[in-house]
Structures are given as C-alpha cells and as structure tokens.
Amino acid sequence: MKLRKSLITSLLAVGLVAGGMGAAHSETLKFASESPRTDTQSIAGERFSELLKAKTNGALDIKIFADSSLGAFQAAISGVRGGTIDMAVSGSANFSGLVPLLGVFDIPFMFKDSAHAYRVLDGKVGQEMLDKLGEFGMKGLAFWDNGWRELTNSKHPVHTPADVKGLKVRTTGSPAHIEAFKLLGANPVPMPLAELYTALEMKTVDAQEHPLGVLWSAKLYEVQKHLSLTNHAYSALILVMNKAKFDSLPPAHQKALVEAAREAGQYQRELNNKNMQKVIDDVKKAGMQVVEKVDPAPFLEATKPGRDTFTAKFGGADMIKQIDAVRDAK
C-alpha cells in the first residue's frame, strides 16, 4: 500500500514538472505596430508568427497590437527597451535618435532602386546598423519594408521643387528628412503617424510623405487631393526585440526568430511591390489627382547638400561610400 502510494505521488510529481516545463516553453510575444491591421506590416507580422511557431514547434508565437494600440513609435520603442513590449516594428528614422547613423538611409536618393536598397540592408552595412541597437537594449532582427516615399498635399500638383515651396509637410523626426524639405523650401513638421490624419483633416499641415501602402492603409487619401510619385527616399522598417528577452532564449529559438523575421520581411517586400500599382489605381478612383511621372533630377540637385550636412553632423562618409559601391551590383 505504501509502495503504491509512493508510486502515485512520484507519478504526480513527474506530471506536474512535465506540465510546468511545457508551459514554460510555450510563450506568446507582444508585437507592436503603428500601422493599421490592414497594412502589410500587420500581414507580415502574421506570417512572422506562423513561421516562428513552425520553426519552434509551437513554443513561440506572436500577438500583434496594430493601430498604435501600444502607443506611438516613441512609446513602442521605449517599451521594447524596457521589456514591457517584446517586439516592435517601426521606421528606421524612428531609431535615429538612438543611432544617428541610421539616418543615412533617409537621405534623399541614397538608393538607386529597391534592389540596391535590399543589397545594402541585407548586407554588411545593414547588419552593422542592426548590431548598434544592442547598445540600447534591443536586438535588431531584420529590416522590413515601408517602400518609396511619395509626396501628397491638399494644395496643388507637384511637378518640380518650386511646387513644394511653402508647403507645411509632415515628416518623420529624421534629421535627413527634415533637412531635405527645408532645402526644397517647405516647412517640415515632424509628428507621429497616429496624429497625421487629423492634422491633415484640420489643415494643420498641407502635405505628407509616406510610401503608398501607408497612404492607403491609413486612409490619408481621404484628406489629401494630390499625389506625386517623387520616389525621393526609400523607407526601411526595423523589427526589434527586447535584447534581454532574446538573449534568455535557447540558441535554437534565437536562430528561429532571426530566420522567421527575415523571411517575413522578404514576404512583405513582395507584397508591397505587387500592391503599388493597385494603390495608385485605387486612390485615383477615390478622387486623388496623381502625377505619375516626376523628373527626379531637379529634386536630387536641390537636396544634394543634405549629404554634406548629414556627414558633418553625424559622420557616415565611409558608410555612404559602401552604399555607393554596391549601387550597380548584380
């Protein structure tokens, strides 16, 4: 009888320990995004979760908090650094306050085309920038895709730099973005995406510049009349994770996180590239007037001094040389 009782007790103990181990290795990570749930950021987040769950046999998955529900980018990035949020995806410009050199990606016409941008971000330069985030409590997992920034406004069509002069333009907080619009004669007004629709509706600002995906998903076309396909800057997103959380995971799970993040980023790039013409067609149907052919040469000439302004303040001349070196690589 005593033997049977002892055996039962032992089996129960083993069961409890095994159950506890199972619970400890099953975890849902909080993922913050400013963009609407219909945006490709959230769609890529869902793919990221699927990939991660598969690669870790269900040990890790992700819950997405879209629409700035965990706060604007400042709050999301602070949350990741402090550990109250596990992950966040945000524009590279939003990290330039911590790592000023990241702003080099925001300099107008830094990239020849999307393939050039991907070579840089997925290569040595990109990895060095991701690694620098470690100094600030974040693990840079991957670069995702915001796309090429285009200009919209409520005043008139924009064909040349002269048409930009005097416009109050919402920008990111990136010094390179702000400097570019100053050089074009505009009045740049940095503000979070969550505040932008109302600011445009109330005419607090006349214009804004975002990739087409955000123009559509955030419904900015409802409060803007004119779109010009200026392609003035490529806008990367960075997916980050709390570094202490990442470092606490088994090596196999760390590897799975990086792999899944990069695969989901590639998936999002493909989605964005496929969707561009559809967004243009849809905003036309919604009433926007679109200038599809914009000569980049005068815009490049007007904003060229921004490179020297940036490097004089933040450095990065060698980084720009590395970016230029792969401009025409195959």
Domains of the chain plus CATH, in order, are 26-325 (3.40.190.170)
Q: Is the pLDDT of residue 321 over 70?
A: yes
Q: Of the candidates 260, 325, 311, 283, which has an alpha carbon nearest to the alpha carbon of residue 111?
A: 325
Q: How confident is the model at residue 25 (pLDDT cuts 50, 70, 90)?
A: low
CA dist 99 and 264 (Å) reads 24
Average pLDDT over residues 68-91: 95
Q: What is the mean pLDDT of the chain?
A: 91
Average pLDDT over residues 289-303: 96
Average pLDDT over residues 296-309: 95
Tell me: the pLDDT tens digits for 122-181?
Answer: 999 999 999 999 999 999 999 999 999 999 999 999 999 999 999 999 999 899 999 999
Q: Output the pTM of the full model.
A: 0.86
Place of tokens 């989605």: 271
Q: Across the strands, what pairs with 239?
A: 89, 142
SS3 of 88-112: EEEEHHHHCCCCHHHHHHHCCCCCC
Q: Which residue has the higher pLDDT, 75 or 330?
A: 75
CA dist 88 and 54 (Å) reads 21
Give the burial class of 251: count Cβ atoms within 10 A of its Cβ; 0-12 exposed, 13-18 middle, 19 or more buried.
exposed
Q: Give the least confident one: 14-23, 225-234, 314-323.
A: 14-23
Q: Please give the pLDDT value at position 13.
A: 44
Q: Please give the pLDDT value at position 14.
A: 41
Q: Please give the pLDDT value at position 311.
A: 96
CA dist 85 and 88 (Å) reads 8
